Amino acid sequence: MTSFADLGLSESTLQALQDVGYESPSPIQLQGIPPLLEGRDVIGQAQTGSGKTAAFGLPMVEYVDPDVSEVQALVLTPTRELCIQVTQALRTYGSRKGIDVVAVFGGAPIRTQQAQLRAGGQIVVGTVGRVLDLISRHSLMLSSCRFMVLDEADEMLDLGFLEDVEKILSMTPGSRQTALFSATMPSEIRRLAETYLYDPVTVKVKTPKLTVESVEQFSIEVKAPDKNEMLFRVLKAERPKQAIVFVRTKVRCDQLNRTMRDKGIDVKALHGDMSQGARDGVMIAFKSGRLPILVATDVAARGLDISTVTHVINFDVPNSPDVYVHRIGRTGRVGRSGRAITFYEPRQQHDVEAIERHASTVMSPWTEGAHVAAAAVEERPKRHAKPQLSRNASEPYAKLIISGGRAAGIDVAQIVTAITKATELQGEAVRNVKVLEQFAFVEVPTTECDAVIKAIDGTAINGHTVRLQAAKS
């Protein structure tokens, strides 16, 4: 097994890693550290949590001279939360060498950060807007900056920061070494890399596959006007100990927060338009466990790493499969189990299918009755923290065709309810329900296929008599 010592790191850096218990490098570190130590530019495609901060941070610490007071390295981050996280990591890596790391970000007094820069700081970690502000005030000089990192570049693109990033890059020496890290590589990020990186080495690490053992995933088809009421039903049935409800926009975040509070639910909102003091207060309350439910936008929640979250509810379908992976990764952490429930409107069925393909998973239809029972079982004292699934997750499934669809007013929930009431199957065993105009498809365990056909064929769903048969292979 390759060790950090095999990568060519100095003794002081290896000692710092030993101090914090780092044992062996992750894939992104194995591939990224050697070319960066050689002085090469690097494009790294990796998700949050892959260890990318050490991948660029350790070579940066090796490169920086603690006896020179000028800014020698700059890390740009899209959010304040990531800025703080990266700063803490770099301080750890450079502790034995005596390197000074300064964090600069919006929402904090700029004069304090100016004073810290005057006092020194070989490495600066900052958000794009605050870095530009400090440059304009002549408080941050980049003439000696020889190492530049763009962390989570795709998030910078989503936030509209790319033009400002290019301004900052243009103010650094042309001879600098540059590393760009991004979970995805849209065309704008590729253009940025082609323009500002010289003969880069590309490092790509696959996202770890989500597993049913850590996060049980469900979906609910619901019309837009009914989403609020469905959310209340889900919360009542699931009774989460701590949950994050994800929405797409700041406006929706505030609206849903007010609606839930009016219902007497203990909830707070978290989004980018809130003052930094308000955001910090909400995050502290949620991380301490005092706040049970958080309504949040994706950007605001990027810094949340909380092991006690039991549920993630996607009130709005994520705008990309990568966002889905990030969202549901907020639960099922540190060996605990978690549940993720995604609301989708009928027109968004293809979005859900794309997410399932990307994450190599299947979202089971969520049913109210089955999960009220599951919640009751969950409250019983038990030896193991992880709930056991009622079915073997790897068992084979068979697809059935139902003669009735949207034209007959049939929806996903009605099909699942009909099957679970007429058989001994629970909701999570009825999977991949797709309702078309005249037909519907459903998957059930192969061993239960004949029993389901016998129980449902010729019965009525929403007043429509349905025929049921196995789909041909």
Sign of torsion over alpha carbons 188, 189, 190, 191:
positive
Give mean pLDDT, residues 149-173.
Answer: 90
CA-to-CA distance for 129 and 313, rounded, in angstroms? 31
Taking alpha carbons only, the member of 105, 111, 40 closest to residue 77 is: 105
Give mean pLDDT, residues 214-241.
Answer: 92
**Higher pLDDT pick, 471 / 125:** 125
């450079």: which residue's tokens? 94
**pLDDT reading at 26 higher than 60:** yes
Q: How far is CA 473 from the centre of its chain?
A: 36
Three-class SS state of 386: coil
Structure tokens at 398: 């068979």
Give mean pLDDT, residues 126-142.
Answer: 94
**pLDDT reading at 440 higher than 90:** no
CATH homologous superfamily of 215-378 equals: P-loop containing nucleotide triphosphate hydrolases (3.40.50.300)
Question: HSE-up of 470 (CA within 13 Å, CB side)?
Answer: 14
CA-to-CA distance for 248 and 226, rounded, in angstroms? 17
**pLDDT reading at 208 higher than 80:** no
CA-to-CA distance for 161 and 17, rounded, in angstroms? 33
pLDDT, position 106: 87
CA-to-CA distance for 278 and 273, rounded, in angstroms? 10
Confidence at 394, pLDDT banded by 50, 70, 90: low
Confidence at 312, pLDDT banded by 50, 70, 90: very high
- Reported pTM: 0.52
CA-to-CA distance for 418 and 416, rounded, in angstroms? 5
93 to 11, 66, 113: CA distances (angstroms): 12, 13, 22
pLDDT, position 285: 84
Query: Model confidence over 377-386: pLDDT tens digits?
Result: 344 333 333 3
Domain definitions of the chain by residue range? 5-204, 215-378, 397-470
Helix H or strand E encompassing 269: strand 267-270
Question: Under CATH, which architecture does the 397-470 domain have?
Answer: 2-Layer Sandwich (3.30)
**Mean per-residue pLDDT of the chain:** 84
CA-to-CA distance for 406 and 105, rounded, in angstroms? 51
pLDDT, position 392: 55
CA-to-CA distance for 454 and 465, rounded, in angstroms? 14
Confidence at 430, pLDDT banded by 50, 70, 90: confident
Give mean pLDDT, residues 459-463.
Answer: 86
CA-to-CA distance for 272 and 128, rounded, in angstroms? 15
Helix H or strand E encompassing 116: helix 110-119
pLDDT, position 435: 79
Q: Cβ–Cβ contacts within 10 Å for residue 199, how many?
A: 6
Three-class SS state of 398: strand
Structure tokens at 12: 């002081």
Q: Cβ–Cβ contacts within 10 Å for residue 404, how many?
A: 23
Evaluate whether the domain defined by 5-204 bears CATH number 1.10.3720.10. no
List residues bridging with 443 in a β-sheet.
399, 431
**pLDDT reading at 151 higher than 90:** yes
Buried b (16+ CB within 10 A) or exposed e, 413-426: bbbbbbbbeebebb
pLDDT, position 48: 63
CA-to-CA distance for 149 and 73, rounded, in angstroms? 8
**pLDDT reading at 429 higher than 80:** no
Confidence at 372, pLDDT banded by 50, 70, 90: very low
Give mean pLDDT, residues 83-108.
Answer: 89
Taking alpha carbons only, the member of 80, 98, 101, 82 closest to residue 90 is: 101
- Written as one string, the DSSP assignment of 162-200 is HHHHHHHHHTS-TT-EEEEEESS--HHHHHHHHHH-SSP
Q: What percent of the chain has pLDDT over 70?
A: 87
Give mean pLDDT, residues 164-169.
Answer: 95
**Contact in structure between 402 and 468 (CB atoms under 8 Å):** yes
**pLDDT reading at 293 higher than 70:** yes
Give mean pLDDT, residues 63-81.
Answer: 91
Domains 5-204 and 215-378 in one fold: yes
Query: Model confidence over 344-361: pLDDT tens digits?
Result: 998 888 888 878 876 677
Buried b (16+ CB within 10 A) or exposed e, 326-345: bbbbbbbbeeebbbbbbbbe
CA-to-CA distance for 185 and 208, rounded, in angstroms? 18
**pLDDT reading at 391 higher than 60:** no
Query: Model confidence over 182-194: pLDDT tens digits?
Result: 988 888 999 999 9
Confidence at 126, pLDDT banded by 50, 70, 90: very high
Confidence at 473, pLDDT banded by 50, 70, 90: low
Q: What percent of the chain has pLDDT over 90?
A: 41
Confidence at 428, pLDDT banded by 50, 70, 90: low
Give mean pLDDT, residues 286-300.
Answer: 84
pLDDT, position 163: 92
